[in-house]
C-alpha cells in the first residue's frame, strides 16, 4: 500500500462534491482517490456514473501519519535547500550556521546527519501505512487480491523509479535499475507479504534476522582482494556484489546506495514501521501508545549506536546500526506527531504538511521531473546575495501550491 493509501477523509475538508470516476479513481463520499495500478496518468477522462463497487466503511486513521509524512517530504522537496540558503545569506560567517547547514547534506560515509533520516523515515512510515491498509484490504478483497496488490504496487514503483532516474534516455545499458522508489516498492511489498503470514512476534524476529544476518554477511564473507570485515567504500561485500551482479548504471560508479544486498536491511526498516503501525492501531490507550513509541525509539537509538563501533552507521550501505538509529528517530517523531495531532487534536500550522503528506509520490515525481524548477526559471531570475534564496523559495512555494490544489479538490493520487 502506498504512503498515502490510508488517507480516507480529512476532517479539515467540509465541501461536499458529487462522486465522479476519474478512470480508475474511486469515489468515496466527497473524496477522489486515484489508484494507478492500472493506469499511470489519471484524470484523462471524466464520467458522472457512480462507482459500481463502493468501498466499505473506513476504519479510524491517523492524521498524524499524514502530517509526519508531509513534514518528511517537505525537506526533500525544497525546504532543506531553502533553509540552508536563508541561513547562509543571513549569517554568512557564522560557524554555528555552518554546522547547522551540514545537517542538510548526507554524511560522506560513516555517521548520521538529519538529512540521512529523510529516506528511512519515509520507508518507516510506509510500513506504518501497511499496518493500517493491509488488514483492511484483506477483509475487503481477500488474500489473493491483497498479494496481487502488493506485487503490482511494487512493480509500478520500480517502473516509476526507473523512469525517474532517466529511463532509457541514454540507452538500455544506462538504466538505473535500483533507486529510491524501487527500494520503497520492493521493501514495502516484502514487509506486506510477511505481515500476511506472521504476527507481531514473528515480524520482530524477521526484522532481527535480517539485521543480524546482514551484519554476519558483511563481517565474515570475504571480498576478493580485500578480505573480511572491511566497511570502507568499494571494499565491502555490498559494493562488491553490486559491481558484479547489478546491471546498468550505478549511482556511485560500480555500486549503488540502493543496491542489491542492502535491500535486505531496508525490508527491516519497513518491518519496524509496520510494527509501529500495529502498535498504534491496537487497543492500548493513547498515552500508552505514545509512551511505547518513545521507549522503542530510545531503545533502538541505544542499540544502534552501541553497534556502531562494530558495524558502523552508514546510510549508503544501509547498515543494521543505521537501520536502528534511523528507526529510533522515526519512532520518536511518530510519537511526537501522534501526541500533538491525534491525542491533543492540534492542527494549527500543520496544513502544509497535511497537503504534502496526502500526495507524496506524485509531488516527488513532479519535483524530480523538474516541474517546479522549470516554472521558477521562467518567473524568477537569480538575484545577487543576500537574496539568492528567492528562486528556492519560489520553487518550494509552487510545490506547496500544487499540494494545496490537489488537497482542496480532494484528489489523492496513490500507488
Neighbouring residues of 80: CB distance < 8 A, sequence distance ≥ 6? 104, 115
Question: pTM for this structure?
Answer: 0.86
Distance of CA 195 to the CA centre of its chain: 19
pLDDT at 265: 98
pLDDT of residue 140: 95
Q: Quick one: pLDDT at residue 221?
A: 97
> What's the pLDDT at 313?
98
Rounded distance between C-alpha atoms, residue 192 and residue 263, angstroms: 15
C-alpha span between 87 and 26 (Å, rounded): 44
| Dihedral over Cα of 90, 94, 95, 96: its sign | negative
Mean pLDDT by 10 residues, the chain (415 residues): 39 38 43 47 33 40 91 96 92 91 94 97 97 95 96 97 94 95 97 97 98 98 96 97 96 96 98 98 95 98 98 98 98 97 92 94 94 92 86 96 94 84
- Domain assignments of the chain as residue spans, ordered by start: 63-366
- Could you tell me if 330 and 124 are in contact, meaning their C-beta atoms sit under 8 angstroms apart? yes
Q: Residue 239 has which C-alpha cell?
A: 559494493
The candidate with the shortest Cα–Cα distance to 316, out of 231, 246, 244, is 231
pLDDT of residue 310: 97
User: DSSP letters of 149-175?
Assistant: HHHHHHHHHHHHHHHHTTTTTT-GGG-
Q: Where are the alpha helices (DSSP H) in 75-222?
A: 80-90, 95-102, 118-141, 143-164, 180-197, 200-220
Phi and psi, residue 25, nearest 5°: -80, 135
CA gap 276, 78 in Å, rounded: 28
CA distances from 326 to 117, 153, 278 (A): 6, 25, 19
Please tell me the predicted confidence (pLDDT) of residue 5.
39
Amino acid at each position: 500500500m502506498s504512503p498515502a493509501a490510508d488517507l480516507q477523509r480529512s476532517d479539515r475538508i467540509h465541501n461536499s462534491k458529487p462522486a465522479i470516476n476519474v478512470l480508475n479513481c474511486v469515489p468515496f463520499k466527497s473524496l477522489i482517490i486515484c489508484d494507478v495500478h492500472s493506469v499511470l496518468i489519471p484524470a484523462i477522462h471524466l464520467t458522472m456514473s457512480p462507482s459500481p463497487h463502493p468501498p466499505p466503511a473506513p476504519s479510524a486513521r491517523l492524521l498524524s501519519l499524514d502530517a509526519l509524512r508531509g513534514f518528511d517530504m517537505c525537506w526533500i522537496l525544497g525546504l532543506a535547500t531553502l533553509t540552508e540558503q536563508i541561513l547562509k545569506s543571513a549569517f554568512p560567517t557564522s560557524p554555528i550556521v555552518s554546522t547547522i547547514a551540514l545537517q542538510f547534506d548526507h554524511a560522506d560515509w560513516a555517521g548520521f546527519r538529519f538529512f540521512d533520516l529523510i529516506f528511512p523515515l519515509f520507508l518507516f512510515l510506509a510500513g506504518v501505512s501497511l499496518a493500517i491498509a493491509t488488514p483492511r484490504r484483506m477483509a475487503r478483497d481477500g488474500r489473493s487480491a491483497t498479494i496481487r496488490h502488493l506485487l503490482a504496487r511494487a512493480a509500478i514503483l520500480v517502473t516509476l523509479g526507473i523512469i525517474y532516474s532517466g529511463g532509457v534516455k541514454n540507452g538500455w545499458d544506462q538504466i538505473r535499475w535500483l533507486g529510491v522508489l524501487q527500494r520503497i516498492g520492493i521493501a514495502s511489498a516484502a514487509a506486506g507479504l510477511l505481515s500476511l503470514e506472521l504476527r507481531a512476534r514473528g515480524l520482530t524476529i524477521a526484522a532481527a534476522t535480517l539485521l543480524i544476518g546482514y551484519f554476519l554477511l558483511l563481517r565474515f564473507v570475504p571480498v576478493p582482494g580485500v578480505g573480511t570485515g572491511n566497511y570502507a567504500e568499494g571494499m565491502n561485500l555490498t559494493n562488491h556484489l553490486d559491481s558484479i551482479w547489478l546491471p546498468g548504471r550505478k549511482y556511485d560508479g560500480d555500486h549503488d546506495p540502493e543496491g542489491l544486498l542492502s535491500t535486505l536491511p531496508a525490508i527491516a526498516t519497513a518491518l519496524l514501521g509496520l510494527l509501529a503501525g500495529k502498535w498504534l492501531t491496537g487497543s492500548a490507550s493513547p498515552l500508552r501508545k505514545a509512551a511505547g513509541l518513545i521507549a522503542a525509539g530510545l531503545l533502538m537509538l541505544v542499540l544502534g549506536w552501541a553497534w556502531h563501533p562494530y558495524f558502523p552507521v552508514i546510510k549508503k550501505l544501509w547498515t543494521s546500526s543505521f537501520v536502528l538509529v534511523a528507526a529510533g528517530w522515526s519512532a520518536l517523531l511518530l510519537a511526537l506527531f501522534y501526541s500533538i495531532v491525534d491525542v491533543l487534536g492540534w492542527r494549527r500550522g500543520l496544513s502544509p504538511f497535511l497537503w504534502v503528506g496526502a500526495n507524496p509520490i506524485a509531488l516527488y515525481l513532479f519535483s524530480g521531473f523538474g516541474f517546479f524548477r522549470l516554472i521558477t526559471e521562467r518567473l524568477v531570475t537569480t538575484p545577487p546575495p543576500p537574496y539568492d534564496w528567492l528562486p528556492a523559495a519560489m520553487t518550494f512555494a509552487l510545490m506547496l501550491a500544487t499540494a494545496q490544489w490537489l488537497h482542496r479538490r480532494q484528489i489523492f493520487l496513490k500507488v
